[in-house]
Amino acid sequence: MTTNEIREVPVEEPLAEIERHLIAAYVAGAGHDLHDLLKRPDADARWLLADASRYASETLSEIEARSHYLHSLRGEA
């Protein structure tokens, strides 16, 4: 790579990796593999993925709320 080339690094949400892990864990708990489920076109697969996504979203919201609460207890911004 020359000095004039710009290395492009994909920008990702800060909690995206945790979200992926939560979704994979939810799906695994239901007895499925996430990668296999993503390849399936049926309504049951879509429903389970949507449910896993809602679970991850709710869990991340709870984590963020707890974090904000702890920061406020410590007097941090």
| Digitized pLDDT (tens) for each residue of the chain, 77 residues in all | 555 666 776 677 778 899 999 999 999 999 999 999 999 999 999 999 999 999 999 999 999 999 889 988 888 76
Complete DSSP assignment for the chain: --TT---------TTHHHHHHHHHHHHHHTT--HHHHHH--SHHHHHHHHHHHHHHHHHHHHHHHHHHHHHHHTT--
Residue 1: per-residue pLDDT: 52
